[in-house]
Amino acid sequence: MLQIAYIKEMKARNCPRQLFRENGFTYLGLLVIILLMGIVLAAAADVWNTSVKRDKEQELLFVGNQIRQAIKAYYEHTPPMATRYPAKLEDLLKDPRYPSTQRYLRKIYLDPINGSITWELVKGPGGEILGIHSRSGKEPIKKSNFSSMDKSFENKKKYADWVFMYAPGQNPASPLPKP
């Protein structure tokens, strides 16, 4: 009864009846648009996440090679009969063997994958530091096309397998020994 009165009132206002049948169409269209926007945003977030991970990998390669070069400089800057590796990473910041300031690194870099300053150290038989690697067990995106110094990183399953180590007289293209 109420519906009949409503229709009569609308006819009196000269409103076509077709408008009343489209009440849910706009709502449904809005839901479809929101769904499509959600799908596009999810895809964009995935691309962004991959890009961030690649940037962190590049930073890990840069930082690891900087520390490797610092260990090499420390080792080679030692008097010839007493060559040795650093006892701790802080020795690369200020070499305790010399009265003057000798620096091989400006700072101890953060592990870009974990975001922490704690690295896994590769130690020699006397406790000296031969190299470092990340503690992360995450799988890297980069699996190939490494520089000649990092050829041993190819097809590694996790970042912790990327060991940045200096061994005197070793060909940089040959694989590094296991820690």
Cα(first)–Cα(last) distance of the chain, in Å? 87
> What does the CA dihedral 65, 71, 77, 81 come to, rounded to 10 degrees?
-140
The answer to whether residue 97 is domain-embedded is: yes
Helix ranges restricted to H, the chain: 2-12, 18-21, 25-76
pLDDT digits (tens, 9 = 90+) for 8-49: 666 666 655 555 555 677 888 899 999 999 999 999 999 999
How many of the other CB atoms lie within 10 Å of CB of 153? Answer: 22
- CB contact set of 139 (below 8 Å; sequence gap of 6+): 157, 158
Give the domain range for residue 110. Answer: 26-135
What pTM was estimated for this model as a whole?
0.73
CB 61 within 8 A of CB 104: no
- Residue 2: what residue type? L
pLDDT at 175: 43
Q: Is residue 78 in a domain? A: yes
Q: Is residue 154 part of a domain?
A: no
Count: domains in the chain: 1
Please give the chain's pLDDT, 179 residues, in tens: 666 666 666 666 665 555 555 567 788 889 999 999 999 999 999 999 999 999 999 999 999 999 999 999 999 887 766 778 899 999 999 888 888 888 999 999 999 998 888 899 999 888 899 999 999 999 999 998 898 888 899 999 999 999 999 988 764 444 444 43
Q: Would you say residue 178 lies in a domain?
A: no
156 in any annotated domain? no
Looking at the DSSP bridge assignments, the partners of residue 112 are none
- Predicted local distance difference test score (pLDDT) of residue 179: 39
Residue 150 lies in a domain: no
Q: What is the reported pLDDT for 62?
A: 95
Tokens 């190299």 correspond to 131
The pLDDT value given to residue 115: 87
Instruction: Evaluate whether residue 51 is within a structural domain.
Output: yes
- Quick check: is 89 in a domain? yes
pLDDT at position 56, please?
93
